[in-house]
Amino acid sequence: MSGDQSHSLAGGHDVFLPAALVPAYRCAGTVGAVIRGLRTHLPEVLVVDDGSGDDTPAEARAAGARVFERTENGGKGRALRDGLADLLTRGVTHVAFVDADGQHDPEDLPALLSAARAGADFVIGSRLKDASQIPRKNYWANTIGDKVLSRMTGLPVEDGQSGYRVISAGLLRRLNLSAERYSIENEILIKAAPFVERFATVPIKTIYGPARSHYRPFRDTWITSWLSVYYKTLDSDVS
């Protein structure tokens, strides 16, 4: 997909209509601030509550998000797939993927959106520019995962496990996704790679606050790396 194809034209002006997709699981204490920050840059934020069973949906709505509630926890991959099924029917040109736990600063979003508006159809926000701010186990787990993904995709992947991304809707519509949990990020990269025209990496802040991440660096990197091999064999599933 070319940069021109990722922007439709109306009345002689580029139309750039991104929306944010925020998967959330037991993030009642952080999701409101995340949404309020995102809404200073985007008109629409969709939160997919993944069966939290707490105040996460209420906090998200109070902050101005549209909320899709799953009755049971199905994992990040399932939440993102449900959210994409909704957003990709609503005329958006790009989807901004943002986590709800406070580890993605909404003030970094304009830089990712700028790269997308300039024509990049796949933008990753990388936390690896300042390794000193990253827990050592996370840094090395990400580095190992990036080597695997770079080899498989042919793209210069940096921080491939980062959930902070902006991807064109046209590219996303070509993907047949099946991942249930954290391997969704790898699956998207691998299945999108044959169609990516312009790939961009944008530095973002590294935030490891009091909110507990549900991601376990080495265990989950090992699992997602092996699943990457599986997804690579399913290129025929991408339409």
Nearest to 138 by CA among 154, 126, 150, 149: 126
- For Cα atoms 90, 97, 189, give the angle at the middle one, nearest 5 degrees: 100
127 part of a folded domain: yes
Nearest to 32 by CA among 57, 68, 69: 57
238 part of a folded domain: no
2 part of a folded domain: no
Condensed to tens digits (0 to 9), the pLDDT of residues 56-110 reads: 999 999 999 999 999 999 999 999 999 999 999 999 999 999 999 999 999 999 9
110 part of a folded domain: yes
Condensed to tens digits (0 to 9), the pLDDT of residues 2-42 reads: 333 333 333 334 799 999 999 999 999 999 999 999 999 99
Residues with Cβ within 8 Å of 222's Cβ and at least 6 positions away in sequence, in order, are none
- At 206, the pLDDT band (50, 70, 90 cuts) reads confident
Note down the domain range covering 153: 8-232
Six token digits for residue 158: 């940096």
Does the predicted model carry a pTM greater than 0.85? Answer: no
1 part of a folded domain: no
| DSSP for residue 70 | E
CATH number at residue 153: 3.90.550.10
Do the beta carbons of residue 109 and residue 38 sit within 8 Å? yes
The number of folded domains in the chain is 1
Condensed to tens digits (0 to 9), the pLDDT of residues 146-155 reads: 888 888 889 9
- At 236, the pLDDT band (50, 70, 90 cuts) reads very low
How many whole angstroms separate alpha carbon 97 and alpha carbon 90? 16
Condensed to tens digits (0 to 9), the pLDDT of residues 174-186 reads: 999 998 888 898 8
**Virtual torsion, Cα 133, 136, 137, 143, nearest 10 deg:** 80
Pairing of strands 199-203, 165-168: unpaired
| DSSP for residue 236 | G
Bigger pLDDT: 166 vs 213? 166
